[in-house]
Chains A and B, each alone.
Chain A
């Protein structure tokens, strides 16, 4: 059961890492448009990129 002393703090750290990852994705605007990218895959203008 001693492993719990490692695993529980580890889970806390993991939560913060996941939280940071979500924060980054939110900041970079990944949730701003939830539909567009799905259609973009279907479009044929792959060649035109900025």
Chain B
């Protein structure tokens, strides 16, 4: 090679520098110590393949190397890490990073291989489209700065991921797309002006030099369109070819390139036809289609961004609480657990915690999909990101940063975005095949037309290449899935894995856990049987009065049932652990608790009618005074009020419903009967549950499991698609494909409907894409489609797919949850 350039970064080698690296047995000259170090690191790690696979040169590390390494040490600081690193296990950590300098798919490969080879790194996952990486490592063996240094060593830069940076990136993308579109549009209009005379003038009416002038003017204006506006197509095609695969951009680049080259030759030689007008118009329509697609896509994914933006920047800390109420403004990152924070009405709650003082409505709609504000009183848990609506609240911070529920939600959503659903992978494969066939077909068309009519050969071939580009085909599935998960998030259902939506739509059996899922999982007063002269309400009020200060779950359930009733005047309240409570009212001894304990004070047997009542799987407690029994209360786990509606909706859709419970058969049966579930599997251990579900699956069922507890986690993992209650155990939530953020069960039925609609829309999209291609291909081959028409056809078909998918977002707002919309 003549002028020496650096083998690694491609910059010219300065005079007097003599450095080299041995790659694949050959000495390669490099320009600086930085590049040498980088190249050596790459080779030493057995990653020399990178040099064969890369299709873009990396940025030179020359400036960055030594100085950056010092800065990296800062990243090991625990305070700095808390916003983007979270603990997975005792020593395992996970960081969200954004990697700069990724220009091609080979860069992803290089980074993933290089990091995975570090001792102590347990996982690396890099997303090409967002340039985001998730790295997991063992803290005892490795520091975060070592990982970052490893990334720097091969010539990339890693930053902690932050939303603002990502937003700036999207903004830049939008701006440059608009500018490319403008250049193409403006070029198109002006080139058309110059083309019109050539179309209108008859043979010999226009002098040759005027015609040449018009052609040159067209050429000058087409150049920026080709070089700038169409650059993404060429770049994409080049990347695909380097990786030896055929992508969407290849036929477009071929078509545009061929038409432009022919026109260029015609202009320079002064003979033949020019197609500058077609070329510019074609690029304009293609870019227009892409721009609209991009805006639609960015709007659809904005739910995630909206969630990320929920966390406020500042918080009002009250260090002297409760004695001194002076407030100091602090950055939210500086909050620590146990801090007391004041949230005024209209402000966003900065972290997870527990209310200390004040009662107020809190709007959690973005987090849970629950539209009505939830009332929070002292002792209630607050979720960071929710908005305080009514009055000031003092609360104690319990979780901050990455440990909060909001951060967990965001991470789950990111994970879903990282996984490529099988449906999309399949569509990509089909589209790839299709493209290969298409290129062969185009070549055949070119040969055929060169015999039939050589003058029309070029643009017929270009039209064939362009009109059949399977963009719509490859867009059909991912766009619909993306929009569907956005719509799900608004319902308060989080799709945490890529395949969740398609599998949910195919579910044939819905299997429910009982406790905590169909029921609230808390003690409630189910029934009251008055036995004395006092009526129901009076007994409840009396019981609640005695239990006023009790923290026992039964006492709380009684208080809740009697809320709003006038309390009786009781005194000398005392508790007997394991038995009940005693008190004095109007000079009489009153007791509440176990039947035997209450029976002691009056010595009467339980009346006949009450004996049946007491025979129950639920907890029965008695109330009595020294003259006799007053009442019996039955307390138990109450069915969630919306469970029946949800199950009815699923049944109306023809789904099989199963109740799978570890509880006693009688309790499970009663709940199932109340809700109309025919199949009940009770007294099931986690192993039984597992066996039952795998039995269903062996019979070909697609099982959707809805559960909440630790005992459900294995079954959740086994079922094809699993739904966890947001209030359920952490383990259940991480196993689940879908998480119900609010405990509103009706969302399960809504999500099912939405997933079904999503799948239907994907099917429509695919049918449309195939029909379009099948109709357009023969027309183009017959020479009835001009290149610009082909451009409109292709953009139009992709756009139709995007718009069709957007219907998922729109109709969901009008549709009543479980009444089929008849419209």
Question: Residues on A close to B: CB < 8 A?
Answer: 1, 4-5, 8-9, 11-12, 15, 18-19, 22-23, 26, 31-32
Contact = CB atoms under 8 A, between A and B. Distances in A.
Nearest to B175: A26
- Among A5, A8, A9, max chain B CB count under 10 A is at A8
Q: Which 7 A-B pairs have the closest CB atoms?
A: A8-B217, A15-B190, A12-B217, A12-B220, A26-B179, A8-B213, A22-B182
B186 interface: yes
Contacts of B187: 15
Nearest to A26: B179
A11 B217 contact: yes
A3 to B, nearest CB: 11
Contacts of A23: 179
Given A19-B183, A23-B179, A26-B175, A8 B194 contact: yes
> How would you classify the secondary structure of chain B's contact residues: helix, strand, loop or mixed?
helix
A36 to B, nearest CB: 16
Interface residues of B, number: 18
Contact of A5 (B179, B182, B213, B224): B213
Contacts of B221: 12, 15
B210 interface: yes
A26 B178 contact: yes
Contacts of B178: 26, 31
Contacts of B194: 8
Nearest to A29: B175
A18 B186 contact: yes
Contacts of B224: 19
B186 A8 contact: no
Contacts of A18: 186
Contacts of A8: 194, 213-214, 217
Given A8-B217, A9-B217, A11-B217, A1 B210 contact: yes
A11 B213 CA distance: 12
A15 B213 contact: no
A4 B190 contact: no
A27 B676 CA distance: 63
A19 to B, nearest CB: 6
A23 B183 CA distance: 9
A28 B210 CA distance: 39
28 contacts: A1-B210, A4-B210, A4-B213, A5-B213, A8-B194, A8-B213, A8-B214, A8-B217, A9-B217, A11-B193, A11-B217, A12-B190, A12-B217, A12-B220, A12-B221, A15-B186, A15-B221, A18-B186, A19-B182, A19-B183, A19-B186, A19-B224, A22-B179, A22-B182, A22-B186, A23-B179, A26-B175, A31-B178
A5 B211 CA distance: 11
Interface of B: 171, 175, 178-179, 182-183, 186-187, 190, 193-194, 210, 213-214, 217, 220-221, 224
A31 B176 CA distance: 12
A18 B214 CA distance: 20
Nearest to A31: B178
A41 B484 CA distance: 39
A32 B183 CA distance: 18
A18 B185 CA distance: 13
Contacts of B171: 32
A9 B175 CA distance: 30
A19 B186 CA distance: 8
Given A23-B179, A26-B175, A31-B178, A11 B214 contact: no
B196 to A, nearest CB: 13
A19 B185 CA distance: 11
Nearest to B194: A8
Contacts of B186: 15, 18-19, 22
Given A8-B217, A22-B186, A26-B178, 17 more contacts: A1-B210, A4-B213, A5-B213, A8-B214, A9-B217, A11-B217, A12-B217, A12-B220, A15-B190, A18-B186, A19-B182, A19-B183, A19-B186, A26-B179, A26-B182, A31-B178, A32-B175
Contacts of A4: 210, 213
Contacts of A15: 186-187, 190, 221
Nearest to A1: B210
A50 B506 CA distance: 58
Contacts of A11: 190, 193, 217
Contacts of A1: 210
A40 to B, nearest CB: 21
A32 B182 CA distance: 15
A23 B186 CA distance: 12
A1 B205 CA distance: 13
A24 B210 CA distance: 34
A19 B221 CA distance: 11
A4 B217 CA distance: 12
A21 B175 CA distance: 15
- Among A11, A18, A19, max chain B CB count under 10 A is at A19
A44 to B, nearest CB: 23
Contacts of A31: 175, 178
A32 B175 CA distance: 8
Contacts of A19: 182-183, 186, 224
Contacts of A26: 175, 178-179, 182
Nearest to B220: A12
B778 to A, nearest CB: 39
Contacts of B179: 22-23, 26
